[in-house]
Structure 1
Amino acid sequence: MKPSEIVNALATLIIVEQPAFLWGPPGVGKSQIVAQVAAERGLTLVDIRAVLLDPVDLRGLPRFDDAGRTVWCPPSFLPVQGRGILFLDELNAAPPLVQAACYQLVLDRRLGEYELPAGWTVIAAGNRETDKAVTHRIPSALANRMVHLDVDPDLEDWLTWAKRAGIDARLCAFLQFRPRLLHAFDPKRNDKAFPSPRSWEFVSRILSAHPSALTLEALLRGTVGEGAAAEFCAFLRQYSSMPDADAVLANPGGIHLPEDPAVICALCESVARKAAEEVMPEFAVLASRLPVEFGVLLMRDAAAIQPSIVETEAFRGWACANSDVLV
C-alpha cells in the first residue's frame, strides 16, 4: 500500500483501537507515516524504540505497598491520560524477551498493574526479514492480534509531502524525471548507502548548506550511493543553466526554453512554486509552449501548490484547450 493509503487505513484502525504492524524496507518512511497520522488527528505520539529496551524497562521497578505486597511502578513513558498512539518502532528487531514483554500490552492493553487508557492505539513497525535488517520472527500469538500493512514507496505521495516539507525543488524535479531512484534498495547487495525517501530528505538538508561541488559530490555518494549521486550531480550541472523562474514568468512567450527533458522537468518544478491567481495568464502561455506532457506537469504541480488557481479564467482556458489529454 502506498503511504496515503496507509494513512487512511490507520485512521480507521484508530477509531476501533485495533493494533497494527507496518512492514516495509529501510528508509521507506514508516515512522513518518505514524507521526503524520497522529498530527492530523490531534493525537499524542509516544514513540518507543523497542530495540533499545530491556524487558524490565517496560514492566518497571517493584516496590512494597502499604500492605507489604510487591507492586510494579510503570515507566514514565507509558501514557496515563489523553488520546494518542503508542508506537513500538522496530518491534521485530527487539530481542524475543522484549517482544514477550509487549505481548500483554498489545493483546490485553495491560502490563502488570498498568493499563493503557481508552483512546490510545498501539501501532508497531519493522523491517521485513528479506531486507537483511536485524530482525526476530514475530511470534504467531502476537502477530495474530495485529492488522499487518505493507508500506510501498510512491512518488506522487512523496512529492505531495515534499512540497509541504520544503524539500529542495531541484531534488523534486530530479525524482520526477528518475522516479525509480526514489527507493532503490537491493537487499542482495551490501551497499552502505542507497536511495530512499529518508536519504533523499537528507540530501535536501545537505543542499541547504550550499557545500562546494566537490564536497557535495562526496556527501551525496555517502547518502544515496555512487550511481544515484552521479546522476543527481549531472542533473544539478544541467539545472544551473536553466532560466530563473521569475524571468520565465516575466516573459513566458519569448524566453528561450531548454530542450533537455530533465531540465524542462526541473523548470516546471521551479516555476510551479510561484503559482498564484494573478500570474495564471503567464502560466497558461508557458504551458502552451511546452511539450504537452510538461505543460500538464506544470499546471498539475501549480494547482497542488495553490488550489485556487483552478477557478481562474486562464486555467479554465488552458484546461479546455487540453481536454483531450486531461481525461
Structure 2
Amino acid sequence: MDTNVVLEALSVAVSAGVPTLLWGSPGTGKTSAVKALAESLNWPVEVVIGSIREPSDFAGLPVVADGTVRLAPPAWAQRLSSAGHGLLFLDELTTAPPAVQAAMLRVVLERVVGDVQLPEGVRVVAAANSPEDAADGWELAPPLANRLVHLTWPVNAERIARGLAVGFPRPALAGFQRRADARQNAVARATVSAFLQVRPALVLQMPKGPASGQGWPSPRTWEFTATLLAACEATEAGPDVRAALITGAVGEGAALEFLSWLENLDLPDPVRVLADPDAFELPRRSDRAFAMLTSVTAVAVAADDRTLWEAGWKVVAKAAQVAPDIATLAARTLASHRPAGAYIPATLLELTPILRAAGLIQ
C-alpha cells in the first residue's frame, strides 16, 4: 500500500476519533509519522511504551484519601487531561503482556485512565510490530484488536531514499479541515445498516485464533465503519483510503463484500429525494430499496426540520405501495422523531394500515 494512502487514512481516522493501529517492522518510521501528525496539528503527544508499563499505568494506582479509595492516573494522563486535546500514542503494543493489554481496553476505546475521563479532544493511536518481529512479542488479544482500526505501514525504498534527501511527507490534515456533518453520518449509518440486513452473518465473526494484524466484524467495528465512511465522504478521500480504513476496521473478507456491494448500490442523494418526494421511485431490488429508504428517513430525522420530516412521510407513503415491510421500519423511525411544531401530514391517512401493523396506532 502507498505511504500517502496510509498517512491520509491515519489522518481521517484520527480526525473522526476512531482509535487506530499502525502495523509495521521496527525502525520504519511509524513513530515519526505519528509525531509529525501531532506537530502539524500543534497538539501535545504522549508516548507510552507497552513493554515498560504495568497494568496500574492504565487502570490507575489505588490511593486512599478521605476514607475512600480512588484510582490515581499517571502523569501522562494528567497532562493530556489538562491540555484538553492531544494524541495518546501507545507504542510497541505487541510487547505489552496480556495483563497490560487488558488494562488498556478502557483507555483505547473510552479514554478512561484510572478515575479520569480524558477529554473528547484526546485521540488514540497505537503502533506495533508483528509478534515474531517484536522483542519478547505477544499476540494482540481479540478484545483489544477489536477496539482499533488496523493499517499496514509500508516500506518503500524510493520513499525512504527521497525522504532522507529532502524530508519525509507529513500526514494530510483534510480530515481536520472538513468534518462529517449530521447528514453524512446519518447516510453512512443507514448504508451500513442496509448491508447488514443483506449479510446478517457478517454482524459478528470472532477470529478463531489470535487477531494480530487485522480487524474483524463486530457491532463495534461496523459502527467504526459507518463513522469512517462519513469521514471519507466529508474529506473526499479516494477509494484507496476508504478501502484501507474499512478493511482495517472489519477485516479483509467483510470489507471486500461491503465495498463491492457499495459500488453496485448506486443510490440517489437522499437530500434530493426529500426536496422532490413526488418524483421518488423505490428501487426494485430489495437491498437497494431498504438502503434508500433508510438513508432518506435518517436524513429527515437528523435534520430535525419540519419540512424534511413531512417530505419523509411522502416518501414512505409511496414506498408503502410496493414494499410495505420496508415502509413500516421507516414509518417507525419518523414517528418516533417528530420535530417541534410539525403537523401530522395528510399522507398519514394513507398509511393507517402500515402504522397499525407497526404498532404506532391502535
Interval of TM-score (by shorter of Structure 1 and Structure 2): 0.3 to 0.5
